[in-house]
Amino acid sequence: MVIMLFNVPADASVDELRDFLAGHGMSDASDLELVPGDGSQPAATFRLPVSASVAETVAEHLKGKVWREHVLGAQALLMTSH
């Protein structure tokens, strides 16, 4: 499942994101990607090998965490195929 983090530090690197996630028990996160958008609220996505319900729990766990003076938002991206 893919999880999106909102309000990540604009100058964050993928390696720093990997370290942050590992510090929160997610060392198995993969496909990490920084999504700068328009620069007003940079985001990042990553994939975890978990079910949708576990991904939602992980997103709730990450919401409100402070990383480098930024309060994070998080959402599990529940995608369906047609």
Both tokens of 76, joined, read 């599990």
| pLDDT band (50, 70, 90) for residue 82 | very low
The number of distinct structural domains making up the chain is 1
Residue linked to tokens 């990607």: 33
Query: 45: buried, middle or exposed (CB in 10 Å: 19+, 13-18, 0-12)?
Result: middle
Residue 16 lies in a domain: yes
Percent of the chain with pLDDT over 70: 96
How high is the pLDDT of residue 35? 92
Percent of the chain with pLDDT over 90: 85
Q: Answer whether residue 80 shows pLDDT above 70.
A: no
pTM of the model: 0.89
Residue 37 lies in a domain: yes
> What is the domain extent for residue 25?
2-77
Residue 82 lies in a domain: no
CATH of the domain at 56: 3.30.70.330
How high is the pLDDT of residue 63? 97
